[in-house]
Amino acid sequence: MRKLVFGVSAFAGLLLAGTAHAQEITVGFVTSLSGPASSIGLNYEKGMNAAYAYQSEVGGVKIKLIKLDDGSDPSQATKNARKLVEQDKVDVMIGTSSAPGTNAMMTVANELKVPFFAVSPVSVPIPADGHPWGISTVQTPPLMVKVIADRMKRDGVKSIGFIGFSDSWGDLVYNGAKAAEANGGPKVLTNERYSRTDTSVTAQALKVVAAKPEGFLNGGSATQAALPLLELRKLGFQGPFFGTPSLLNRDFVRIGGKAAEGTQVSAGPVVVTSQLPNDHFAKKIGTAFHDSFKKVNGGEADDGFSGYAFDAWVVFLEAAKVALTKAKPGTQEFRQAVMDAVHSNKNVAGVHAIYNYSPKSYFGVDERSLVVVKLVDGKWVYQP
C-alpha cells in the first residue's frame, strides 16, 4: 500500500512539475558583452537587468531569462539564436548590440518562426509568405536622421560631411541623410566609411575637410563614433557636429571629450526623462525605468541603449498578457499568439516611444519617439 501511495504521489508530483514548467515563459536575451560592440552591449544588459527587476512575471506566470554573449560577432549571434530556439526552446528572443548581429538573429527568427524583439535597427526583407517574426524597438534610421536634419535646417546648416561605419548601420544613416536631402535638408557632400575596429580615420577626415561642409553628420556609434570628431577638430574643422541616438553612450562622451562638446543628436526621451514636462508620455514609465535601473545596477542610466532593452521587455509583457489567454508557453501556438498580440496591441507606451506595430514593418514608432539633445559640459541637455 505504501508503495502504491508513493507511486501515486510521485506521479502527481511529476504532473505538477510538468504543469509548472509549461506555465513558465522562457525568454532568450543576446547582447555583446565582449568585442567592439560591448560598450553598447553592456548598456543593453543593464537595461535588461532593470526590466527583469521591474517585472519578472505575467499574470502569475514566471518568466525565465537566459542570457548569452555574442562577442560582437554576427555569426555568433546566429549560433546563439539557433541554440536558444532549438535547445533551450525559448518562447521569445531579445537582442542584440549591433545592426549586423540583429539582422542575423532576425533571419533566424523568421526562419524558425519565433518572436524576436530587436533592440537595434533591422533591415532584412520581410518574409513574402506571411508576417515578420519580430519587431524593433528603436526609432527608424530615416526618422532618426530626419529629426536631426530638421534641426540642422533650423540652425541654418546647408551642407554636411558624412563619415560612417562600413556596414549596415553606416548605410542606414547615410541613406537617411540622402532622404532628408531630397526633402530639403542639408546637402551631403561626402560618404566616407571606416571599420568598427579601425583606430584612425585621418584619410576620411581629410576628405571631409576638403569638401568644406558647414556641418558634420556622424554615422558611427558609441566609442568608435568619437574618432571622426577628434580627427576633424585636430584638422581645424570648426563646424557643428550632429548625430543619431547611437552616440548616446558614456564612452563616446568620455573619449570625445572637448571635441564632442556641443554635439546635437536625435534621442529617445528616456535620455532626458527628468527634464521632460510632466504630461509627456515617457515621464511616468521613464521614471520607473530609472528607479529600477539604479536599484539593480547601482548607477544612473545616462544612455539610450538600455532603454531599448527595457522597451522590448514592455512590448513583450503586453503581448504575453494577451497570448496567455490563448495558448500555453512552450508551444508554437503561444509563439504565434505573442506575435499576433504585438501586431494588434495599440499605443503601448515605453520609455522611448508609443509603439504601434503591423505585419508590414519591423518598426512601430512616430516622431513622438524623438527629441533633440545637446552635449553641454559632458551632459545631454533637452533642446525643446
Instruction: State how far the Cα of 71 lies from the Cα of 96, in Å rounded to an integer.
Output: 10
Output the pLDDT for position 6.
Answer: 34
Can you give the C-alpha Rg of the chain in angstroms? 22
What is the CB neighbour count within 10 angstroms for residue 368? Answer: 13
Q: How far apart are CA 353 and CA 302, in angstroms?
A: 17
62 DSSP β-pair partners: 57
Among the listed residues 382, 384, 367, the one whose alpha carbon sits nearest the alpha carbon of residue 139? 367
Element (H, E) at 104: helix 99-112
176: burial class by Cβ within 10 Å (0-12, 13-18, 19+)?
buried
User: pTM for the full model?
Assistant: 0.81
Q: Can you read off the three cell numbers belonging to residue 114? A: 519565433
Strand, coil or helix: what is 374?
strand
Domains of the chain: residue spans and CATH = 2-139+287-365 (3.40.50.2300), 141-267 (3.40.50.2300)
Tally of CB atoms within 10 A around 60? 7
Among 312, 308, 221, residue whose Cα is nearest residue 271: 308
Ranges of residues in the chain with a pLDDT under 50 are: 1-21
pLDDT on residue 22:
53
380: alpha, beta or left? (left if phi > 0; alpha if psi -120 to 50): beta
Q: Determine the longest span between alpha carbons in the chain, in angstroms.
A: 93
Q: Which three-class secondary structure state does DSSP give residue 300? A: coil
pLDDT reported for residue 284: 96
User: What is the per-residue pLDDT for 110?
Assistant: 97
